[in-house]
Amino acid sequence: MSWTAAVRITAIAAVFAAAPAIADNSQWDSQWDPFNSRWSGYYAETPLEECQTGTQGNLELRACLSRLLLEAESAYEISIEVLDDLVRNRADAFVQAEEAEALRFARETWRSYIEFQCDFEGAMLGSTYSSSALQATSCRVSLLRQQTARLTELATQIDPNAGPTGPNEPCVGRFCAVETETFRDWTAQCRRAGLCGAYTTAGAQNRLDHRLDVVTRPAGGGYNVLFTSNQWPVNAARAIAVRVDGRNPVVFRPYSGYSVDGEGVFVLSDVTATEALIRDMRRGGRLTVQYVDMSGVDRLATFSLYGVMDSLAFIEARLRPTRY
């Protein structure tokens, strides 16, 4: 390992911590290539403006921004995995441990920055709760795109062969694009490096008012269940009850049973309850989520489970062995 390479990869911490300085609006194209080092997130138009072209209403905008956010998160995770691989391949165990800790701390620092910055931007640019959430999501997409491009550039400076293949090259190895397959009412998505999930919507296919996701946990070992209500904002201080085929409900309570991310997605993360729910979903026909909206009204969202078993089989056939 050369001294120059060690300095470069340790300097990644400065890239994360100095994220505010990376957002130069003036010099980039509107065509996003997530692994092109010449790309930066604030370009000719914002992600929100991308979605406003050809869409109508808040539901369509939220769905479009959610898709862009998933794509940006996926590309960002790939760039992190490239750097993880470079660190793990260090021959010197002491240097490897030092660089791994620097990368971990840098990543946490940058994540804190993006959350505070985008909450601030949403509050300043949005005139209502709904428009603030759209602005905050647009900000997150922009900053994730910027960081992905910057980290990919650094990785290729350290090792020109690091990272995913280009857009016109065949997909080889761990850093492949997302594979997608539809099984009746569910759609499964997975890339070979992990980050897999499956989703469906309530009522007719591709309706936007409610969505249910089953996603692999980042550290392996099962799934989280995600619930999104785009039509009626959910009261995050009230419990959410989930039942399969009319059986006794599984109740997820605030803080202990579920958490809410910045986009209003409810992550049902209680491990024991979620594992039991997934078992019931595999052999069930429909799932109902009961929640209370911000107006105090009880709401129900019913999802078909036809296709969820095949979707989970699709995911489990593609998951790599856990490295943690």
In 3D space, the residue among 89, 75, 1, 14 whose CA is nearest the CA of residue 41 turns out to be 75
Q: Which residues pair with 251 in a beta bridge?
A: 241
Triad 92, 98, 99: Cα angle to 5°: 90
Q: Where in the chain is the domain with CATH 2.60.40.1880?
A: 179-316
Give the model's pLDDT for residue 54.
61
In 3D space, the residue among 239, 258, 230, 245 whose CA is nearest the CA of residue 287 turns out to be 245
Place of tokens 């980042």: 218
Tell me if the pTM is above 0.85: no
Determine contact, residues 46/61, Cβ cutoff 8 Å: no
Q: Which of 114-143 are b and which e, b meaning 16 or more Cβ less than 10 Å from the residue's Cβ?
A: beebbbebbeebeeeeeebbbbbbbbbbbb
Give the model's pLDDT for residue 7.
44
Q: In what order do the strands lie in the sheet with 298-304?
A: 250-252, 240-244, 286-292, 298-304
Triad 119, 22, 148: Cα angle to 5°: 85
Question: Which residue type is seen at 261?
Answer: D
pLDDT tens by residue, the chain, 324 residues: 444 444 444 444 444 544 443 333 333 333 444 443 333 333 346 888 878 776 556 777 777 787 788 778 877 888 888 888 888 888 888 888 898 898 889 888 988 999 999 999 999 988 888 888 889 999 999 999 888 888 888 887 787 666 554 444 444 444 455 678 899 999 998 765 456 889 999 876 666 788 899 988 755 568 888 888 887 888 888 888 999 998 888 888 876 667 766 556 788 877 888 888 999 999 999 999 999 888 889 999 999 999 999 999 988 887 644 332
Class of domain 179-316: mainly beta
Q: How far is CA 43 from the centre of its chain?
A: 22
CA distance 212 to 202: 8
- Collapse the DSSP code of 268 into the 3-class scheme (helix H, G, I; strand E, B; otherwise coil) and give the result: strand
